[in-house]
Structure 1
Amino acid sequence: MAKQVVTESARRRRRPTKNGVVLSEQLIVETALRMLKEHGREGLTVRRLGTALGADPSSLYRYFRGTDDLTLAIADELMGRAMRGRRSVGDWRGDLRDLGLRIHSAYLAHPQAAVLTASRVSGRANEIAADETILGVLRSAGFPDPEAVRIYQAFIDQTLAFAALDAASLALPDTARTADERVWQATYARLPADTHPNIAATAPLLVDRMNESAYPHALDMLLDSAEATLATARGETVTSRKGVTAP
């Protein structure tokens, strides 16, 4: 007699753990996010995760094939949080700007998880939904498909790259991050004009700006370029947000 196939859902635990909770993929991911936030990457192991859930560590393999599979689920959860409650603002540029800021903020809310996952491609539901939304915004705006894909790639790579960079700074120990922030005032602002004329001339601006994320500014630059590209595709002339007219 052929062995009866047990479905994936049937293999998953239904009885409460020692902590009185019923395991689920969502609960495991949320617990992993909390552990990353509190203890960093080194603090997230299957054994410690099982302890936090009040479950035998081996039971986690009913939900994930291994730690890498869990990492991809964490990445997808961050993207899902970015997209949750999202509404169109009414124009393609505003929609893309809102999407970028949402993704960047969602990752920075969990810096340890962002450093771990920003470079990964999960292929999971939330990631796919976000990609479909971004491409839909671009194609609906009238971008030809080759340009839509080019801008999509630049948009999502830039967003995740800044998320990883900014998250890496937030993930530093407080003493290290504070020391880095002080360098602009303690070192750059004191460089003499005779040896470093350009830094000396812009020092007050550097001190004011360099400890803030450049992502919103970089995002606007990308959107300016995309807007000019769309105008060219339409044979139009566009006036940028700063009043410079492009053919």
Structure 2
Amino acid sequence: MTERVVPAGDRRRRRPTKQGVVLSEELIVETALRLIEEHGADALSVRRLGRALGADPSSLYRYFRHTDDLMLAIADELIGRTLREWRPTGDWCADLRELGLRMHAGALAHPRAAVLSAHRVTGREHEIQAVENIIGTLRGAGFPDAEAVRIYHAFVDQALAFGALDSAGTALPRSARDAETEVWRATYAHLPAATHPHIAATARHLVATMRHSSYPAALDLLLTAARTRLDAFRARTEG
């Protein structure tokens, strides 16, 4: 897609295309998401999308101005899927942990799209709602506004970064993933204590742990630190 603006009022069509497809923004995003997982970033072309949708490629400009516009919609859809079943309980720490794990799982469910979109700021409906919910959770817990934003920033960036990191690993061919896992057993587990005492002492833990994502542990560390900061703030204000 290249830049080609269609007036907003003319973007939606209710009647089917010549191929019998009734296009919608949702259908285009869903199809693009599927194609990205199958073919990578090269899937985002008017020709390929039109072919997959059974529609004239030019009709896509009624919904998206260009490829980047569509990429932002895809990023926002991934956020929306994360939020769809998240229900805050009032326990801020447990709620953020659940949301973080959902964000990470959502990235792994669409690894190629996650790698492409993790660094984007969409300014769209689902992202705005996510920002509102997370900051609201932190303010409701008692964090001062500046601290709430600071922790929000760290929380979101951590989830997105781990999502992209682990998604990149998931997107590797199975043989490459297996080979990297094997390095811990075949190389690190056999380093001698005389030259690498700390690796040798922890080798069995490295073999058992390094094959898995460290995101849950990193998330717990972040939330524990946040709770400690909140306790310290309360102690200062009460004192």
* TM-score of the two chains, using structure 2 as the length reference: 0.92
* Counterparts of 2:141 and 2:181, CA distance in 1: 40
Alignment pair present for 1:165 and 2:154: no
Distance in 2, matches of 1:235 and 1:160, equals 32
* Structure 2 counterpart of 1:228: 228
The 10-residue stretch of structure 1 (190-199 or 115-124) with the greater mean CA deviation from structure 2: 190-199
How big is each residue's C-alpha offset from its partner over 1:80-118, in whole Å with a ceiling of 9 and x where there is no partner?
000002111331101111111111111110000000000
In 2, the alpha carbon distance for the partners of 1:208 and 1:103 equals 24
For 1:186 and 1:196, locate their aligned partners in 2 and report how far apart those are by CA, in whole Å. Answer: 15
SS at structure 1 position matched to 2:143: coil
Whole-angstrom CA distance in 2 between matches of 1:106 and 1:19: 33
Kept in 1, the 8 Å contact 2:25–2:63? The answer is: yes
Give SS of 1:235's match: helix
Matched, 1:96 2:112: no
Gaps of 5+ in 1: 1-5, 237-247
Deviation at 1:178? 1.6
Contiguous gaps of at least 5 residues in structure 2: 1-5
Which one is further off, 210-219 or 82-91? 82-91
- What is the aligned length? 231
CA deviation after TM superposition for structure 1 residue 151, in Å = 0.4
Aligned to 1:174: 174
Q: Structure 1, residues 120-159: CA drift from partner, whole Å, max 9, x if none?
A: 1001000000010000000001000111011000000001
- Structure 2 residue 27 is the aligned partner of structure 1 residue 27: yes
Quote the residue 2:3 is aligned against.
none
8 Å contact from structure 1 (residues 35, 43) kept in 2: yes
Measured after TM superposition, the shift of residue 19 of structure 1 is 5.2
CA distance in 1, matches of 2:226, 2:19: 52
Cα distance change on mapping 1:204 and 1:119 into 2, 3 Å? same
Retained in 2: the 8 A contact 1:17–1:53?
A: no
What is the identity, as a one-letter code, of the residue corresponding to 2:157? D
The SS at the match of 2:220 is helix
1:119-130 superposed matches below 5 A: 119-130=119-130
Per residue, is there more helix in 1 or in 2? 2
Q: What pairs up with 1:163-242 in 2 under 5 angstroms?
A: 163-235=163-235
Cα distance in 2 for residues equivalent to 1:31 and 1:57: 13
Q: Residue in 1 aligned with 2:143?
A: 143
Contact in 1 for aligned 2:32/2:43 (Cα 8 Å): no
Query: In structure 2, what is the equivalent of residue 38 of structure 1?
Result: 38
Instruction: Describe the shift of the 1:7–1:61 C-alpha distance in structure 2 as closer, same or farther (beyond 3 A).
Output: closer
| Distance in 2 of aligned mates of 1:86 and 1:183 | 38
C-alpha displacement at 1:9, in angstroms?
4.4
Q: Which stretch of structure 1 is more off in the superposition, 7-16 or 104-113?
A: 7-16
Q: Which one scores higher on RCO, CA 8 angstroms, separation ≥ 6?
A: 2
Task: Please name the residue that 1:241 is paired with.
Answer: none
Output the CA distance in 2 between the equivalents of 1:41 and 1:185.
34
Amino acid at match of 2:85: G
For residue 211 of structure 2, give the secondary structure of its aligned residue in structure 1: coil
Calculate the aligned-residue CA RMSD, in Å: 1.5
Report the TM-score when normalising by structure 1: 0.89
Shift of 1:188: 1.0
CA distance in 2, matches of 1:135, 1:71: 25
Q: Distance in 2 between matches of 1:12 and 1:128?
A: 24
- 1:152-198 per-position Cα deviation (integer Å, ceiling 9, x unaligned): 00000001000010001011122222211111111111111111111
- SS of 1:212's equivalent? coil
